[in-house]
Amino acid sequence: KNEVEQSPQNLTAQEGEFITINCSYSVGISALHWLQQHPGGGIVSLFMLSSGKKKHGRLIATINIQEKHSSLHITASHPRDSAVYICAVCPTGTASKLTFGTGTRLQVTL
Amino acid sequence: DSGVTQTPKHLITATGQRVTLRCSPRSGDLSVYWYQQSLDQGLQFLIHYYNGEERAKGNILERFSAQQFPDLHSELNLSSLELGDSALYFCASSRGLAAYNEQFFGPGTRLTVL
């Protein structure tokens, strides 16, 4: 079993829909990252969370440390949101190491 | 543009060969991380350097080595290449020492081993 599990693996949505991507992890962590990988391969850091909730534009990320769970929400989705979204955790005691989920592939259609 | 540069963008080579991938971090960033992304394994942490010193190793093969130079650029050396080494190799940089700091990713080097 992977230390970091994401669901769903694939997601298709219509423009304007509210989207939720989930990340569950099995180890203690000091932080969790959400990353976006574009179809061309480039990776962008969206959020770093250690508690609570963060919002940036149409993106919202939440984390529940006790339940070892994080969610990434996209409001009013748009075709340009089509990408792979990757959750990565920094396990406690391993300050340098990120452990990655396998990603959620999102396709937003018109 | 993240400010992190990687060269080359693409590399095609043969089994048994040796290659060097180069990464220049964002101005002011002292940490450089190397990651490998293959189709079957996803993203994996390879190694972390901070201000010229190796700080942590992940799933890095003994055939692979890296260093960070005084000007803070880093090189990842891959030797005795095998077909399974074909992957995207990313570097990322950050200001601080710990992986919970925001990381800025380079565009990646796509390595194909034939």
* Closest chain A C-alpha to B112 CA, distance in angstroms: 15
DSSP symbols for A6-66: EE-SEEEEETT--EEEEEEESS-EEEEEEEEE-TTS-EEEEEEESSEEEEETTEEEEEETT
> Is residue A10 scored above 80 in pLDDT?
yes
Nearest CA in chain B to A38: B107
Among B43, B34, B4, B2, which residue's Cα sits nearest to residue A96? B34
Token couple for A37: 């990988």
CA distance B34 to B23: 9
Which positions in chain B touch A86 (Cβ < 8 Å)?
43
Per-residue pLDDT of A46-83, as tens digits, reads 999 999 999 999 999 999 999 999 999 999 999 999 99
Which positions in chain A touch B101 (Cβ < 8 Å)?
48
CA distance B107 to B92: 9
Q: How many CB pairs under 8 A join A and B?
A: 67
Per-residue pLDDT of A19-44, as tens digits, reads 999 999 999 998 999 999 998 889 99
> Is residue A1 scored above 70 in pLDDT?
no
Per-residue pLDDT of B10-56, as tens digits, reads 999 999 999 999 999 999 999 999 999 998 888 999 999 999 999 99
CA distance B19 to B65: 11
* Closest chain A C-alpha to B43 CA, distance in angstroms: 6
Average pLDDT over chain B, rounded to whole? 94
Is B49 strand, coil or helix? strand
Mean pLDDT of A2-18: 95
Average pLDDT over chain A, rounded to whole? 94
Write down the pLDDT at residue A60: 98
CB pair distance less than 8 Å for B103 and A33: yes
Q: What pLDDT band is residue A2 in, cutting at 50, 70 and 90?
A: confident
Q: What is the dihedral of CA A29, B2, A55, A58, to 10 degrees?
A: -130
